[in-house]
């Protein structure tokens, strides 16, 4: 025990501000990696990799196995090169989030009160359409562009460039119509395209929910929110429940009034509230610790 305390004291005596900074940087890197992999299938792969590494270390150090140790030493470089390939989607998503971190949403100062009224009208139309679609149990996916461009996803759909009205959205998502199977993208207060193909989420968030029947619309909503800062509104075809997704998170079973409040907070022209504050305000249950 005395030797252990002496060793600890010796380590602390050699610490300086550069050593503390070095430790903090390494800790920050590990934290960012673990944070970017949360609620993804990559977390399962990471556990498997850690288990494999620990097992190999134990086998090569505790037991004398020359041939196996030679194989592990020569295979380690190949395993290190395979890590970027295995975790490519998560690495890309983390870099995209890093690139969006410095994005500043610059809004035209000349819009004034008229633009505010127009955008409130758009939000009201979306909420009214979602409520009526929910009552009829017609599935829908409405993606609202923010600062990140959705041009590549607009190219997969049918150009419309129409005014946002509840009647238009109801007609688009009416079952068995040509445009109902896909997403509507709204940008600059107009319905730009319909029947758009969205990227599916690789996150494990939906797999952890009690309702496992959520289909492609919910995965597409999460997917587009993972690769952009867009807000996606989903209406379930099975239950008629309304959900909203942003930043890879989803909140389900919301009523139209709450939907209007959330959209108003995200798209208010003069808002100065940071995005993470909005997320914690309207998605509070997603920020609770697992042991709570």
Last residue of a domain, one of 53, 73, 101: 101
Other Cβ atoms within 10 Å of 122 Cβ, number = 20
Judgement on whether residues 92 and 122 belong to the same structural domain of the protein? no
Residue 194 vs residue 287, higher pLDDT: 194
What pLDDT band is residue 291 in, cutting at 50, 70 and 90?
very low
pLDDT per residue as tens digits for the range 150-166:
888 999 999 999 999 99
Judgement on whether residues 135 and 267 belong to the same structural domain of the protein? yes
| Residue 242, C-beta contacts closer than 8 angstroms, at least 6 positions apart | 130, 131, 134, 233, 234, 235, 236, 253, 254, 255, 256, 259
Last residue of a domain, one of 101, 123, 157: 101
Judgement on whether residues 44 and 171 belong to the same structural domain of the protein? no
Separation CA 292–CA 289 (nearest Å)? 6
With 0.85 as the threshold, say if the pTM is over it.
no
Judged against a pLDDT cut of 60, whether residue 66 lies above it is answered with yes
Which of 53-57, 65-69, 191-195, 214-218 has maximum average pLDDT? 191-195
Judgement on whether residues 211 and 79 belong to the same structural domain of the protein? no
Last residue of a domain, one of 79, 101, 123: 101
Judgement on whether residues 147 and 202 belong to the same structural domain of the protein? yes
What pLDDT is recorded for position 74?
A: 80
Mean pLDDT of the chain: 77
pLDDT per residue as tens digits for the range 35-64:
766 655 566 677 777 787 788 777 777 777
Judged against a pLDDT cut of 80, whether residue 181 lies above it is answered with yes
Does residue 156 fall inside a structural domain?
yes
Judged against a pLDDT cut of 80, whether residue 262 lies above it is answered with yes
Query: Quick one: what percent of the chain has pLDDT higher than 90?
Result: 28
Judgement on whether residues 131 and 19 belong to the same structural domain of the protein? no
| Residue 151, C-beta contacts closer than 8 angstroms, at least 6 positions apart | none
Instruction: Taking residues 249-261, report their average pLDDT.
Output: 90
Report the relative pairing of strands 140-144 and 183-187 from DSSP bridges. parallel
Instruction: Tell me the residue range of the domain where 246 lies.
Output: 113-287
Does residue 108 fall inside a structural domain?
no
Judgement on whether residues 96 and 131 belong to the same structural domain of the protein? no
Domain count within the chain: 2
Query: What CATH number should be reported for the domain holding residue 163?
Result: 3.40.1700.10
Does residue 248 fall inside a structural domain?
yes
Judged against a pLDDT cut of 70, whether residue 147 lies above it is answered with yes
What pLDDT is recorded for position 9?
A: 74
Does residue 250 fall inside a structural domain?
yes
Does residue 162 fall inside a structural domain?
yes
């Amino acid at each position: 025990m005395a030797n252990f305390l002496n060793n600890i004291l010796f380590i602390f005596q050699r610490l300086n501000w550069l050593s503390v900074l070095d430790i903090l940087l390494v800790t920050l890197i590990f934290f960012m990696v673990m944070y970017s992999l949360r609620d993804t299938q990559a977390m399962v792969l990471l556990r498997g990799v850690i288990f494999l590494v620990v097992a190999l270390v134990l086998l090569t150090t505790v037991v004398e196995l020359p041939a196996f140790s030679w194989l592990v030493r020569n295979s380690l470089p190949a395993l290190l090169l395979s890590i970027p390939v295995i975790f490519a989607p998560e690495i890309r998503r983390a870099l995209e989030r890093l690139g969006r971190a410095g994005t500043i949403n610059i809004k035209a100062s000349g819009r004034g009160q008229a633009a505010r009224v127009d955008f409130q009208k758009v939000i009201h139309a979306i909420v009214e359409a979602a409520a009526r679609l929910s009552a009829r149990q017609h599935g829908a996916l409405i993606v609202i562009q923010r600062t990140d461009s959705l041009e590549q996803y607009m190219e997969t759909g049918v150009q419309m460039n129409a005014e946002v009205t509840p009647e238009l959205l109801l007609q688009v998502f009416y079952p068995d119509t040509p445009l109902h199977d896909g997403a509507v993208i709204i940008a600059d207060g107009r319905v730009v395209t319909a029947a758009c193909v969205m990227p599916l989420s690789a996150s494990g968030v939906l797999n952890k929910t009690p309702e496992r029947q959520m289909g492609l619309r919910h995965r597409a909503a999460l997917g587009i929110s993972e690769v952009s800062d867009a807000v996606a509104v989903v209406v379930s075809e099975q239950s008629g429940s309304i959900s909203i997704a942003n930043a890879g998170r989803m909140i389900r079973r919301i009523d139209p009034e709450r939907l209007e409040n959330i959209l108003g907070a995200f798209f208010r022209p003069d808002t100065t509230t940071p995005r993470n504050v909005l997320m914690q305000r309207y998605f509070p249950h997603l920020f609770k610790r697992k042991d709570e």
